Amino acid sequence: MVDENNKVNDFKYPYPRQKIFGLFLIGVSITMALATILGTNQYPNALVFIIGYIISMVGIMFNKKVRTRFSIGESTPLQEKASKFSLTFISVIVPIIGMSLSRTGNYRLIWLLILLAVGIHFIPFTLVHGKLTLMLAILTIINSCIGLYLFNTSFVVFGIIDAIIKLIIGIVLFKFSPFIINKRNRLNVMQ
């Protein structure tokens, strides 16, 4: 643990928005838990999920005050490309899953495939937010694949597990990422 008075100057942390991502994961984990609890045994409450996701995205990821407070620099060009790729992937694949399978009425399958796609979209974010993001990707992919395999098991089990995974990793990212202690980008790494 680094003492609070031990300030590190000119330190460039490789994942400048890791703390914000942790906060976002906490928000979406709460959203997923509520949507799952308020949904059916086959799928989460879509309205609760959409509202919670939008609030988390706008209130955390796109909120300039939050970004200013919790960012410790700017992303690299490679990180920007990885983010754009990942966001484009998820923006394209989720509607494809929904539109191509909605006629089947198997909403459990649709939501598990969406959770699988979300897990896959976390892989490029490893470049942006660090190694724990790869662990997040692996765990969410495994959870959704087990849900696809155990087709007689309630979606609630996998929705809650998904929320717990995101909550734990979100808390770890938020708690153990460096933070700004003044406007000159001097850091205090608390671990």
Instruction: Answer yes or no: are the C-beta atoms of 178 and 4 closer than 8 Å.
Output: no
Q: How far apart are CA 144 and CA 162, in angstroms?
A: 8
Instruction: Tokens 């495994």: give the residue.
Output: 142
Instruction: Answer yes or no: are the C-beta atoms of 119 and 112 closer than 8 Å.
Output: no
Mean pLDDT (the chain) is 89
pLDDT of residue 73: 84
Tens digit of pLDDT for each residue in 137-175?
999 999 999 999 999 999 999 999 999 999 999 999 999
pLDDT of residue 13: 83
Q: How far apart are CA 89 and CA 123, in angstroms?
A: 11
Show the CA angle centred on residue 142, arms to residues 54 and 159, nearest 5°. 40
Phi-psi map region of 185: left, alpha, beta (phi>0 left; psi -120 to 50 alpha): left
Instruction: Answer yes or no: are the C-beta atoms of 18 and 177 closer than 8 Å.
Output: yes
Mean pLDDT of 11-32: 92
- Residue 8 bridge partners (DSSP): 187
In percent, the amount of the chain with pLDDT more than 90 equals 80
> Does the pLDDT at position 29 exceed 80?
yes
> Does the pLDDT at position 105 exceed 90?
yes
> Does the pLDDT at position 127 exceed 90?
yes
pLDDT of residue 154: 97
Handedness of CA 115, 116, 121, 126 (dihedral sign): positive
Q: How far apart are CA 111 and CA 155, in angstroms?
A: 9
pLDDT of residue 187: 46
Q: Residue 42: phi, psi to the nearest 5?
A: -105, -20
Tens digit of pLDDT for each residue in 55-95?
999 999 999 999 889 988 889 999 999 999 999 999 999 99
Can you read off the two tokens belonging to residue 9? 């100057």
- Residue 188 bridge partners (DSSP): 179
> Does the pLDDT at position 180 exceed 50?
yes
Cβ atoms within 10 Å, residue 26 = 20
> Does the pLDDT at position 181 exceed 60?
no
Q: At what angle do helices 107-121 and 155-176 cross, to 10 degrees?
A: 20
